[in-house]
Amino acid sequence: MSEIKKIKNLKEFSTSADRFEGANLLCPGCAHSIIVREILNATNDDLILGSSTGCLEVCTAVYPYTSWDNSWIHIGFENSSTAIAGAEAMHKAKKRKGTLISDRDPKFVAFGGDGSTYDIGFQWISGCFERGHDMMYVCLDNEVYANTGGQRSSATPIGSSTVTTPAGSHSYGEKKDKKDMLSIMAAHNAPYVAQVAPNKWKDMIKKIQTGFATEGPVYINAMSACTTEWKFDPADTIAVSDLATDSLVFPLYEIINGTELNITYRPKNIVPVKDYLGAQGRFKHLFKPENAHVLDEWQKRTDAKWDLLQRREEARV
């Protein structure tokens, strides 16, 4: 069983001992560090961690320094999931042989950005889930290849201006809609998948602790607002995250055993999608008269997704 950490309030949680040090080179206001810290502080278990190449990795392990007060592995852009799956398989093998030094079972967690999750590393993650490794995979979803210059990924939403889908006189930016990664991972019959956001920390911790207590592969999709590529003030990370969840652009829910869907946050006051988009420079061109149809499309798609989630929750399908 996972060694659950009991958390009474935010003050207690924020002052608990860190296993992810504050000394790193992530951008001011980067949500990555908030999310990782919350995840690591959610348990008292020993942890074996891995990171794909990306913002988190390059900013927390500048040789000879490290921000990780844990066992931590970095291999490549696409295969942190495989590295962690290998460590998990080795631990099980050594446990069967009775050759472990400690009788404590650690938790195995792999981190990757949306580029290494939705795109480059997807087949590796899929294989880990198909094999049923007892591990957690966390996608730090900032909807762009932020580490390598701001190129679009298949997590980039419609209308977003990136260096490879720039908005201009002949384009309103990204033309494709964001891939539904949570449904894809649930379709692997994973015992637990969930979507989280750093502004709803209680919801996040509950889901992370549920994931740690679950036997088998767990997928967590974490919205990670990017001050650099989303183009907002670093002081507004949580405010932008609030707009994401309260506009239902990034709904918070979980899927158990591939079928049982539970919505875990219902905003008391749903805000228009345009309020969320208007807080970010990557969408500023959408507020020109010629792009009004994109704003309308955004709202329609968001409303349709929310309606589908509610119907799936009612039907448990």
The two three-digit tokens of residue 66, written as one number: 């490290």
Q: What pLDDT does 11 receive?
A: 72
Q: pLDDT tens-digit profile of 75-134?
A: 888 899 999 999 999 999 999 999 998 888 999 999 999 999 999 999 999 999 999 999
> Which CATH superfamily, name and number, covers 17-315?
Thiamin diphosphate (ThDP)-binding fold, Pyr/PP domains (3.40.50.970)
User: Which residues, 6 or more positions from 150, have their beta carbon under 8 angstroms from its beta carbon?
Assistant: 144, 162, 163, 228, 229
E strands of the chain, at which residues?
47-51, 71-74, 107-113, 136-141, 167-168, 171-172, 192-196, 218-223, 253-256, 260-263
Separation CA 55–CA 292 (nearest Å): 33
Task: Identify the sign of the CA torsion 176, 121, 219, 147.
Answer: negative
Q: pLDDT tens-digit profile of 175-212?
A: 999 999 999 999 999 999 999 999 999 999 999 999 99
Q: What angle do CA 279, 193, 263 make, to 5 degrees?
A: 60
CB 298 within 8 A of CB 251: no
Q: Which run of H or E residues covers position 186?
A: helix 181-186
As a whole number, the mean pLDDT across the chain is: 94
Q: Residue 18 — pLDDT band, cuts 50, 70, 90?
A: confident
Per-residue pLDDT at 15 exceeds 90: no
Alpha carbon 122 to its chain centroid, in Å, reads 14
Amino acid at 75: I
Q: Residue 309 — pLDDT band, cuts 50, 70, 90?
A: very high
Mean pLDDT across 135-146 = 98
CB 273 within 8 A of CB 158: no
Q: pLDDT tens-digit profile of 271-280?
A: 999 999 999 9
Per-residue pLDDT at 217 exceeds 70: yes
The CB density around residue 14, as the number of other CB atoms within 10 Å, is 12
Q: Which run of H or E residues covers position 306?
A: helix 292-315
Domain spans, the chain: 17-315
How distant, in Å, are the alpha carbons of 196, 214, 273, 315 from that of 205?
A: 9, 14, 26, 26
Q: What pLDDT does 226 receive?
A: 97
